[in-house]
Structure 1
Amino acid sequence: MSPLRRFLYIAIAWISFTLGLIGVFLPLMPTTCFMLLAVWAASRGSPRFALWIREHPRFGPAVVAWEGERAIPRHAKWLAAGMLGVSILVLSLTVAVLWLKLALIVGLALLGAWILTRPEPALGR
């Protein structure tokens, strides 16, 4: 792999990790999806960084559950559903264009349904 390509993967991994870290403190900012992107990019650019994320006590279990089982822990499902519900409420009160409002609400509702129907990790049951 060229040094430039490796650098780009590492940059994507660090940016994604930082955004995921911000998501821990900002309710409407996702965490897990950014951590998954960070692990994917780090696996290509810095396997040591990817391993560190997988072994991290806060972020690792959700990443490992998704990679191994395509599973989402119950608490993450409920948190995601709650945040999607808040987002739908905000959209319904702030977006003026009806077709856009409906499209966004339907999209978020479908995303919520998809998240809630994912299995839970075997260790979390």
Structure 2
Amino acid sequence: MPIDEPRLSRSPVVRYALLTIGWLSLVLGVIGIFLPVLPTTPFLLLSAACFVRSSRRVYLWLVTHPQLGPWIRDYLDGNGIPLRGKIWAIGLMWAGIGFSCWLVPLLWARLFMLSSAVLVSIYILRQKTRRLD
């Protein structure tokens, strides 16, 4: 085993806890694909981090998954986000936030949603833009 390759946890309790957290964050990440307010990539990265320490088989399934794997691999490889992905992510997020602000009359909730949208937009825009080959 190479030195830089993460090892599975020796404790079965820790492995099961990491497996549980990994699956929960994977579910949240998949839900985040459809809900603009919920981020996808951080949950997928958390899942990968939990799986690499708890189950090599599940980790390999996740990173080689046809739909979910590229999100993780591109981020870990430092390839960035495609321009089209940035536009879609920011556009859908702002549409969802705008609709939510229209529905929710509470000022503090609107301010929270708007400040979250601004911060997520800044984060997305600061990420490297991946060039398509």
> TM over 0.5, yes or no?
yes
Partner in structure 2 of residue 84 of structure 1:
93
- Residues 1:6 and 2:15 aligned together: yes
Q: CA RMSD in A?
A: 2.3
- Residues 1:73 and 2:82 aligned together: yes
1:72 deviates by 2.1
- Of 36, 40, 43, which residue of structure 1 is paired with 2:52? 43
1:42 deviates by 0.4
Q: Which runs of 5+ in 2 are unaligned?
A: 1-9
1:85 deviates by 0.8
Deviations 1:90-109 (A, max 9, x none): 23212323243123212212
**Equivalent pair of 1:70/1:118 in contact (CA under 8 Å):** no
- Over 3 Å counting, the alpha-carbon distance change for 1:68 and 1:18 in structure 2 is same
- Over 3 Å counting, the alpha-carbon distance change for 1:102 and 1:70 in structure 2 is farther
- Over 3 Å counting, the alpha-carbon distance change for 1:61 and 1:94 in structure 2 is same
**Equivalent pair of 2:101/2:113 in contact (CA under 8 Å):** no
- Structure with greater contact order relative to length (CA < 8 Å, sep ≥ 6): 2
SS of equivalent residue, structure 1 residue 56: coil
Figure out how many residues of one structure are paired with residues of the other and give that number.
123
Identity %: 31
Query: What are the residue-to-residue correspondences of 1:15-54 with 2, within 5 Å?
Result: 15-24=24-33, 26-28=34-36, 29-54=38-63
Structure with greater helix percent? 1
TM-score of the aligned structures, taking structure 1 as reference length: 0.80
